[in-house]
Every structure is written in C-alpha cells, then in structure tokens.
Amino acid sequence: MALAQGLGRPYMFWQSADRRRSMLGVGEILRLRAAGADRLEAVAAASLGLSAPILLGGFGFSGRGPLPAPFGPFAPADFMVPQLLFEERDGDLSLRLLGRSEGDAGQPTAPDTLASLLVAMPGRAASGRLVFADPPGSRAAWRDEVDRARVAIRSGGLQKVVLARTSLALASEPWSVPNIVRELSLHEPDCNIFAFHRKGRTFLGATPERLVRVADGTAEVACLAGSAPRGATTEEDRAIGQELLRSAKNRAEHHFVVTAVEGALRARGLAPEVAAAPSLKRLKSVQHLYTPVRTPLGARETIFTLADALHPTPALGGTPQGLALSWIFEHERAPRGLYGGAIGYAARDGEGEFDVAIRCALVRGRVATLWAGSGIVEDSDPDEELKETDLKFRPLREALQEAIRT
C-alpha cells in the first residue's frame, strides 16, 4: 500500500473481520461509476459483459451527485477493475495481473505498473504532532439538531432519524495512510478494514457492520443498532451489556433495523431467518445490540440487487425511510459523501460483500475528517447522544495517534 501510495494510482484495500482474507487492488484498467437513485443498477448492468474477476469499490449514502467537495475524486457509485490484485486468503498469497484484450493505447499495462511498484521507494513518514478539533460551534449545533429531530418525532410520522457529525484531526506532517490502516487492522478486531484512494484522498475505516455478504447461495446481513461503552472491568462490562439488552430505547432502535431488513428481503420474495432476540457484539471501545439475518438467494438476486434493496437501513438513515432521509437532507450540517454508504467487492462468480461505511475518515494531506452518527428517537438525550458519537470516534482517533508516532 505504501508503494501504491507513492505511485499516485488509484487503489483499494479491503480486509475481512476474521483476517482470513485481504485484498489490495492497484491501478485500474476500468472504472465503473454512476449517480442517481439507480446507481447500483447502472454499475451492475455495466459489469455484465466483463470477464474481470472482481470489482472493488463502493457507493455513497446518497445517489445525489456529484459528491460534496471533500469527496471530489469519488463518484456516488465508484468501482474499479484493478491492474494488480494482491490477495491473501486463508494463508495463501497470490498476485494477478489484469489487462484489456483490446489493449489501452497510451496507458501503462499491468506489467508496467508492477515494475513501477517494485522500484518505487515509499517515503518514510516523519513523526509529528496531532491535534483533534471539532469544527467551530459544531457541538452546540449538533445538540440543536438532536432537539429538532426529537420535536419532529413527537409531531408524528417520523420514528427515528440518524444524525451524523464530523470531527477533525490535524497533523503537523502529511498522514501515512498505510500506518493508519495497519493500526486499525492490529487494534480493531471484529471489524472489516478498508481504504479507497483516488487523487490524493483516501476514505478509510474499521467498520463492524455488514450491509450484505453473498457466498454459496446465501446472503447474510448484520443488524447493528443500539450502543453502550465497554466497562473498565469484566464485571462492569457485563453489567453495561445487560443494561443495554434491557434498554427500551436501544431495543426500539434495534427493532427498527431488524424489521426493515426483514421487510426488504421479504419484499423480494426471499425467506430470511432472523434470530429471536438480539445478542451483544463487543468491540474494543463500544458494544452493540446485534442480530444476524440469513436467507437463501433467489435466482434473480445479486450482491447489487440486495445492497440496493437494503440501503440505507434504519441504522444509518432512520424510519420511515422516506421521512427520515428527507429530514437528513434538509437539516443535517455535515455532508455525508461516502460516509454511511458501503465499501467492498463483487466477484464474477457471484460472491461479494459490502460493509457499511462507518467508523471512518477521509484523509487528505495533513487533515483527516472523521464521521460518526447516532440514532435519535423520541426520548434521546442530546448530551448522551453527543457522548455516543465521541465514543464512536475513538477507534479512528487512537489509530491516528499511533500512526503519527510510527
């Protein structure tokens, strides 16, 4: 990744939560991008005639394009066929060089890119200083957003809306993206790790939430909503987890997600299997209510059709979906871009995975912009919701602190 960063070519890294599979695609022989409500359908249609083994990429929270300024190089749906595909799977290592059968006049071939990669000397990132700062007035403004959302919910119709806020990390030296990704991979177990790079900007993160995974004729969805901190001791951690399981507010928030996922799958004629009650998914800094959902695939389903049907779940948008999205687009101050969308891959054999783009940051030069969100319901407390987003910033903040010391 450090070598790819030095070349200035697009690249994408993805690593599974169990660390059994890692992929790095470098350079691109083909880019598929689209905007609008049917952006995933457009990408899927464009990929039908391809013999490429894999597409790497993702899509934003909204299909509206172009994406807000910080995400300028990216499209609302943005996928690449890489020239070089490095992969580790269950301990087996491979490198594939991909090209176009008709050639691409004037463009470097995959062997050219590999040769450039092998002779490139990645710059060693200098250690530096780091300051975390919220945009001026943003904390007070976000509390006001929470209050306005609660008023809208009490007025009827809207049941839940997810609000996002941003925070900044300002470094004295340009960020080393490979260092950040390494820290996330080492210290955020049970999270999928991703980094998507275009033209000097990298969208990266460690996400615990799967939108959909397709393999062996089965689709799997992870419903994740309702949050609490980890405890300082085993006893405290267990007590906080039990309180989370009993919390009416968090159970209601989680129920919205499970109901929406199950409904979206049944609307496509599928027969999802849903766990009877949520369990706890414990991460390094936070624990969540978690319900897995599985369903056999129908003959017409692909990773793209399912992602389109499921996105955005109430965990990232709210419920009812239309009212929640309208409220977000009208009132939310922080532009989401790729935050709240999904990142992953789609393989030619039908396998694929898209993970919800949360616990993430956009890195450019010496600046990293972090995103975090919280589900607002009628009895939400603005100060508590602010604390929850601070808790969700913690994994990226810790990774950035370690990365700049390396």
CB atoms under 10 Å from CB of 334, counted, come to 21
pLDDT on residue 59: 97
Both tokens of 259, joined, read: 């109901």
Question: pLDDT tens across 319-347, in order?
Answer: 999 999 999 999 988 889 999 999 999 99
Average pLDDT, the chain: 92
Task: Tell me the domain boundaries of the chain.
Answer: 2-97+133-405
Predicted TM-score of the model (pTM) = 0.94
- The answer for residues whose C-beta is within 8 angstroms of residue 210's C-beta and 6 or more apart is 192, 220, 221, 222, 353, 354, 355, 356
Q: Which residues of 30-65 are buried (b: 16+ CB within 10 A; e: fewer)?
A: bebbbbeeebbebbbeebeeeebebbbbbbbbbbee
The pLDDT score that the predictor gives to residue 122 is 65
**Residues designated as active site:** 160, 209
Say which amino acid occupies 321: Q
The pLDDT score that the predictor gives to residue 369 is 96
Neighbours of 115 (CB within 10 A): 12
Q: What pLDDT is recorded for position 125?
A: 58
Chunked mean pLDDT (size 10), the chain, 406 residues: 87 96 96 95 93 96 89 96 96 93 75 86 69 90 94 92 94 92 94 96 96 96 92 95 94 92 95 95 92 92 96 92 93 91 95 96 95 92 93 94 84
In 35-159, at which residue ranges do the beta strands (DSSP E only) sit? 54-59, 77-89, 92-97, 130-133
- Please give the Cα distance from 346 to 344 (Å, whole number): 7
Q: Is 285 exposed, middle or buried (0-12, 13-18, 19+ CB in 10 A)?
A: middle
Give the pLDDT confidence score for residue 26 in this predicted structure: 96
> Which CATH number describes the domain made up of 2-97+133-405?
3.60.120.10
Is 386 buried (19+), middle (13-18) or exposed (0-12) by CB count in 10 A? middle
Two structure tokens written together for 351:
């396998």
**How many other CB atoms sit within 10 Å of the CB of residue 116?**
17
Q: Please, are residues 13 and 181 in contact by the beta-carbon 8 Å criterion?
A: yes
Q: Is 197 helix (H, G, I), strand (E, B) or coil?
A: strand
